[in-house]
Amino acid sequence: MSKIYENTLSFDSTRKYTIFCFKRFYSEFIVVGRENLPKNGAVIFAPNHINALMDALAIHAIVPTGLPVIFLARADIFKKKKIADFLRFAKIMPAFRMRDGMENLGKNNEIFDQCVDVLNHNVALGIMPEGNQGEQRKLRPIVKGIFRIAFAAQQLNGLKDGIKIIPIGVDLGDYVKAGNHIIISIGKPIEISDYMESFAENPVNATNEVRNRLRDDLSKLSLDLATEKYYECFEIATEVANESVLKEMNLPDKTVYRFVARQKIARRLIEIEKNEPENIKKLDSLCAEYQKSIDKLKMKTWLFDRGDFKKLYFISDGILLLLTLPIFICGLILNFMPYFAPVFIRKNILKAKEIGFFSSMHFVLGIITFPVFYLLQTVLFCCLINSTWWIVLLFLISQYPLGKWSLKWYKDFVKLRGKIRFKKLQTSKSADFQHTKELRDEIISLIVK
């Protein structure tokens, strides 16, 4: 059996296809801090863990071609032999936790030794330092396993440069649906050699130093809504104040800068909770009332951000959508099964309950269902229509872009419908509309000072 760190042709080919699909699962694939990626593979990638498989694929998507990354995953998913064999093919090793039974914790010694061996062969590891997955946009406690491996591998190098931990922040536009953004923020490497003298004197203190450094870096790279009591308030407030803080920072209206603005709002909210207890209680109440009000109006916050919509734009956008409606229908027909089959399987066959696994399931099922349905539809097209080979080929390759275009058409339609509703309520001076706007302004006034 080949070593897990060896880059086989079958794994490399599978990974290339998977990453090709992964980048197209999102409307925007944004990488920040690529200059912080080391040239050698003796590194441990440490991302925040918010979305099951997608976090690991985010790491695979940024490393140099040909460099495998060996991941650790919870041991309970290795129970069935066929699944365990596939996970080994995917270069994933089990990590045992307390819930797997005290008798199994000793098996981690062998796994950790294998991790050290991986690093010593100049191959990268991927370890989720939080130890488990969360569905909230905030960091959870950092576990110590990653540091045990890093220090054990570095001991072979002494004080020389060697093992590096690379903090990675992953931000998703949506935890479930395709067609939203992903931002992968790469932090500066943490050189374990810098902590070896401290480790020799007091391993516990050295481990805590690195852990605190990693936590601080991950907090700066991700959207860390670090609150226990006011999470929903933080989530609503970051959305409501996003446009105002973006303007305050004098940043252009781009996805990556909107993320930067949300990070700044999160830090302000943490300060308000810490230093202004009365204001955070007031903000919590306002946000709860605002959410009820905007749900009642069936509107989105971005409509208030954009404000004054011109009727002329409604007409031009409506005409454009009407003219392109046949293309949308064509794309919908050709992509209905590829797009909705993964959702149907997840809901009715797999019956997954945890939101953090939804998009991972959709993605894995989609990389199978999309080519299968496209090929079946092409065969059906050949049977029904006697065409030359180049028309058949054109039909085959046009199905996916038509699907992407139809998805965009639908989003534009929903936006236009929202704008029209917003304009009607604004013009009629609806009491509910005015109240919602006042709540929004009051929320922003507590954050933007």
Is the predicted pLDDT of residue 183 greater than 60, yes or no? yes
Residue 278 has pLDDT above 90, yes or no: yes
Q: What is the mean pLDDT of residues 395-417?
A: 95
Give the tens place of pLDDT for each residue, 148-160.
999 999 988 776 7
pLDDT in tens, 97-125: 656 555 566 667 888 888 988 998 888 99
Domain ranges of the chain: 9-221, 231-297, 311-436
Tokens for 118, please give them.
């991986």
Residue-averaged pLDDT of the chain: 91
For 234-273, the pLDDT digits (tens) are 999 999 999 999 999 999 999 999 999 999 999 999 999 9
**pLDDT above 90 covers what percent of the chain?**
70
Quote the pLDDT of residue 81. Answer: 84
Quote the pLDDT of residue 392: 92
- Name 237's Cβ contacts closer than 8 Å, sequence gap at least 6: 265, 269, 283, 287, 443, 447
Share of the chain above pLDDT 70, in %: 97
State the CATH class of domain 9-221. Answer: alpha beta
pTM: 0.92
- Cα Rg, the chain, nearest whole Å: 25
Torsional sign, CA 448, 238, 36, 44: positive
Residue 417's pLDDT is 93
pLDDT of residue 83: 80
Kindly provide the residue ranges of all beta strands, DSSP E only, lying in 159-316, ordered along the sequence.
164-172, 181-186, 190-191
What residue ranges in 127-244 does DSSP mark as E strands?
164-172, 181-186, 190-191
Can you give the pLDDT at residue 162? 85
